[in-house]
Amino acid sequence: MSGSLLVDNIGELVTNVAGSGDGGPLGLRRDAAVLVEEGRVAWVGPARYAPAADRRIDAEGAAVLPGFVDSHAHLVFAGDRAAEFAARMAGEPYTGGGIRTTVGATRAASDDELRATVRRLVGEATRQGTTTIEIKSGYGLTVADEARSLRIAAEVTGETTFLGAHVVPAEYADRPDDYVGLVCGPMLAAAAPYARWVDVFCERGAFDADHARAILTAGQAAGLGARLHANQLGPGPGVRLGVELGAASVDHCTHLDDTDVDALAGSPTVATLLPGAEFSTRSPYPDARRLLDAGVTVALATDCNPGSSYTSSMPFCVALAVREMRMTPAEAVWAATAGGARALRRDDVGVLRPDARADLTILDAPSHLHLAYRPGVPLIRQVLHNGVPQCRS
Ligand code: NIG
Ligand code: FE
């Protein structure tokens, strides 16, 4: 779609430009307008000073925010694990053991089946306001299956993550060191052309700190940025290792001690919290307040996957973060937009300022507060991605 587009009559605009507008971290502006040209934000200001444009969207006084940046999702898989969820709700614990079930189903699926699932879930996410999404491999765990997972993910996003170290697959159960050698060698070589990031599930029962270090440094040597699943199921070395290696993000952060929090606080590594996982595994939520009060940069993401968190909804995660993790609505909205952008080391998304990508979510509500205040309600009226309308619900 060419020509300029003016989104005006915005009752409340979340810019995430700190200090602008109301002076707070969301940079809230009242009675605002946004001019879009060639997929980018060209101008932001008071509606009464808005420049002329070829087309216009009337926000009718609603709130507008940057599209959500979902920096952690596992969308390339086959089958589901609804029965495992039901068993958990009847008292079974979550151990991550079901990952191998999804690996079996994923290996057996055709490219087109995997592609259809990825596209269905990206469509779901878009309709809920997400305009940037990270997608991991990790349910293939062979050289060919990891490479194809990333190839399919790369068809829909530039934020692709090689997670060959999700679990040790059954055929390597007695030889974990050999599997790590495969991940660092031929699997990484096959995956790297389609991946921006490398990730490891660093947890008891998955990969220990030595394995995680070997895989992350091999990935970095291949030009990938590091990120890490860390401290999800119990305390451990993952968060500190991620900070030491300069990871963009350490994700989950459910079980932290003071040294973990101190390490994060003095670093550029983002703590990405995934409350959908605690919801779906009926586990205690991470202590977001402790991280924020220590000055750690916090992101929120869905962790969308068929095992521990089968939700693609960033508004749901915002509501959980506010209700269950004591984040303020403003902190949660920031973490789901600008925080996710930081976790992906992006400065062109999660923010509405001139030259940023024109990714806008128009709410069916007058304020960002409603995302947590009205949980479960379809509040996403319209989504613009690169300035192009995606859907109208
Ligand atoms: O982030 N923790 C490891 N990976 C996923 C769960 C994957 C699964 O259970 O299938 C997570 O929670
Ligand atoms: Fe995950």
pLDDT in tens, 73-131: 999 999 999 999 999 999 999 998 899 999 999 999 999 999 999 999 999 999 999 99
pLDDT at 15: 98
CA 232 to chain centre: 16
The CATH number given to 5-66+350-392 is 2.30.40.10
The segments of the chain whose pLDDT lies below 70 read: 1, 391-393
- Counting ligand 1 atoms within 8 A of each CB, the residue from 149, 202, 308, 310 with the most, and so the one to mutate, is 308
Residue spans per domain, the chain: 5-66+350-392, 69-343
Task: Give the separation between CA 177 and CA 376, rounded to whole angstroms.
Answer: 45
C-alpha 96 – ligand 1 centre gap (Å): 6
The residue count of the chain comes to 393
pLDDT at 391: 66
C-alpha 199 – ligand 2 centre gap (Å): 9
pLDDT at 266: 87
Q: What are the residue ranges of helices labelled H in the chain?
A: 82-89, 99-108, 111-127, 143-154, 176-182, 188-191, 209-221, 238-244, 258-265, 275-281, 288-293, 314-325, 329-334, 340-343, 370-373
Domain spanning 69-343: CATH 2.30.30.190:
no
Question: Given strand 135-136, what is the order of strands in its sheet?
Answer: 135-136, 160-165, 197-202, 225-230, 249-252, 270-273, 298-300
Protein residue with its CA nearest to atom 12 in ligand 1: 308
pLDDT at 308: 98
- Provide the residues around ligand 2 (an ion) whose CB is within 5 A: 303
Report helix angle 143-154 to 99-108, nearest 10. Answer: 80
Instruction: Decide: helix, strand or coil at residue 221.
Output: helix
Output the ligand 1 site: residues, CB below 6 A. 96, 98-99, 102, 201, 229, 232, 277, 303, 305-309
pLDDT at 260: 98
pLDDT at 224: 98
Task: Give the separation between CA 200 and CA 220, rounded to whole angstroms.
Answer: 13
C-alpha 325 – ligand 1 centre gap (Å): 20
Instruction: Decide: helix, strand or coil at residue 225.
Output: strand
Enter the pTM of the model: 0.97
pLDDT at 273: 98
C-alpha 97 – ligand 2 centre gap (Å): 14
